[in-house]
Every structure is written in C-alpha cells, then in structure tokens.
C-alpha cells in the first residue's frame, strides 16, 4: 500500500520568492493489528481451579471445644483455623478446602483424641491407635 504526499516549498533569495511543489510517493506503514488468536488470548482469563469444600462433622454432646487435627495441618491440636463450630443438637462442623489426596485425621474433643465415628475408613497410626482417613478425588 502506498500513499502520495505533496510538499510545497518556498524560498526567498535577493528579494525574489520562488515556490516549488514536490510530489512524493511513500510506502504506508502497516498498522499493527492483533491476530484473531492473539485477540482471543488477551480476552480469555486463566481459569482458576476450584478446590471443593469437604465438611467434617461430629456429634459431641456436652463438649466445650472441638478441633480437627490431621496431616493437612501438621496434627496441630488447637489450631484456631481448625476449630469446629457448634450447631443445634450438639453437632460440631468445619468446612475445609482440601486438594485431591488421602488425608488422615482425628477430632480433638476437650483435649481427647477421637476417631470419626461416622467414617469407617481407619488406618493404624504409630501410637497403636487408629486415625480416620478420607480420600479426596
């Protein structure tokens, strides 16, 4: 693609003015435009991988505090982020976002370790007792 320009010049010498018009043809600069693929890439946002929530619940009548301890939190007995909330009927609940994998855990009820009575999946731990486990897919 080419464009044509006309340039006018004026010169003054010894009191005499001369005018001159010069035509010049130059190649036009191509405008940079994004390819359809590049436009699509710019508009498309990276999809976030969502980690589903897993609910842990325990019926513990008369309990004052219940925590969840497991390999997902380094078996911390009283980690504030893993304290269960008490609901009606002495049911304690906690939602966690866990990535796919197998997790061992126990409830800590007023300082006492409890396996999950609603989960039959058990594995022997190094302390000659059992841990509950859950498989997240």
**21-35, 101-115, 117-131: which range is least confident on average?**
21-35
Sign of torsion over alpha carbons 104, 54, 95, 89: negative
Taking residues 10-38, what's their average pLDDT?
52
Give the separation between CA 41 and CA 57, rounded to whole angstroms: 43
Domain assignment of residue 31, given as a range? 2-43
pLDDT tens, residue by residue, 46-92:
566 667 799 999 999 999 999 999 999 999 998 999 999 999 999 99
* Local structure of residue 16 (DSSP, 8 states): E
> Is the residue at 48 inside a domain?
no
Claim to verify: residue 87 and residue 124 sit in the same structural domain:
yes
- Asked whether 76 and 69 are in contact (CB, 8 A), the reply is yes
Claim to verify: residue 112 and residue 79 sit in the same structural domain:
yes
Claim to verify: residue 118 and residue 57 sit in the same structural domain:
yes
| Residue 42 scores a pLDDT above 80 | no
Average pLDDT of the chain to the nearest whole number: 80
In the prediction, which pLDDT does 52 show?
79
| Residue 43 scores a pLDDT above 70 | no
Question: CB atoms < 10 A from the CB of 81, how many?
Answer: 10
Domains: count for the chain:
2
Residue 80 dihedral angles phi and psi, to the nearest 5°: -55, -40
Claim to verify: residue 63 and residue 130 sit in the same structural domain:
yes
Give the separation between CA 113 and CA 136, rounded to whole angstroms: 23
> Is the residue at 21 inside a domain?
yes
Claim to verify: residue 31 and residue 81 sit in the same structural domain:
no
Claim to verify: residue 76 and residue 112 sit in the same structural domain:
yes
């Amino acid at each position: 693609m080419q464009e044509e320009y006309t340039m006018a010049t004026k010169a003054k010498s010894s009191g005499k003015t001369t005018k001159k018009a010069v035509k010049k043809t130059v190649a036009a600069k191509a405008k940079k435009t994004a390819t359809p693929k590049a436009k699509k890439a710019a508009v498309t946002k990276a999809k976030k991988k969502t980690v589903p929530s897993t609910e842990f619940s325990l019926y513990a009548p008369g309990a004052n505090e219940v925590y969840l301890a497991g390999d997902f939190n380094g078996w911390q007995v009283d980690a504030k982020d893993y304290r269960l909330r008490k609901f009606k009927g002495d049911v304690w609940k906690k939602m966690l976002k866990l990535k796919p994998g197998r997790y061992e855990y126990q409830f800590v009820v007023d300082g006492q370790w409890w396996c999950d009575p609603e989960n039959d999946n058990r594995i022997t731990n190094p302390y000659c007792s059992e841990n509950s486990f859950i498989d997240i897919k």
